[in-house]
Amino acid sequence: MSMSPYYQNLRDKVGAGLLFMPSVAAVVRNEEGHILFIRKGNEQTWGLPAGAIEIGETPALAIVREVYEETGLTIVPNQIIGVFGGEKYQYQYSNGHQVEYLVIVFGCSIIGGKLEAKDGEAEELCFFSEDEIPDIVIPYPKEIFLKNVMEGKTMFE
């Protein structure tokens, strides 16, 4: 999906400068326990299904919306795996826009849908086992991908 009117309005005022962005990301597992990653066009590295929380939207609704838009899957968030932020979560998009994410990472289960990029952002969608995690854009701690480590726990950074 393109930039929301809220973020577009901010960008019109600050240009490509650094914006603080409350966001969500999903560790979505299939029946085999493999984790879904997406690779967006013109990028070599992978990422979790993720996106900004919109004005008036709860984090739980945001992750359901983002996962559906990016992957075509309907999910249910089961657990908050981690909350991450700070300088190391700064990112610059290919258009020069800079953000610093505050990310709530949810553990999610698939309840329906068909795996396909709905919004055109993802070039590739693929499930990886815990021991085959690809290089990822955002420097999440590796532990969040280990189900037996994170079950019932939340990591903060």
pLDDT the model gives residue 94: 84
pLDDT the model gives residue 87: 96
Break the chain into its structural domains and give their ranges.
18-156
Residue numbers in the chain where pLDDT is lower than 70: 1
Query: Which top CATH class is 18-156?
Result: alpha beta
Contact 105, 28 (CB under 8 A): no
Of 151, 155, 29, 43, give the one whose Cα is nearest residue 103. 155
pLDDT the model gives residue 1: 54
Residues 6+ apart with CB under 8 A from 43: 94, 123, 137
This prediction has a pTM of 0.93
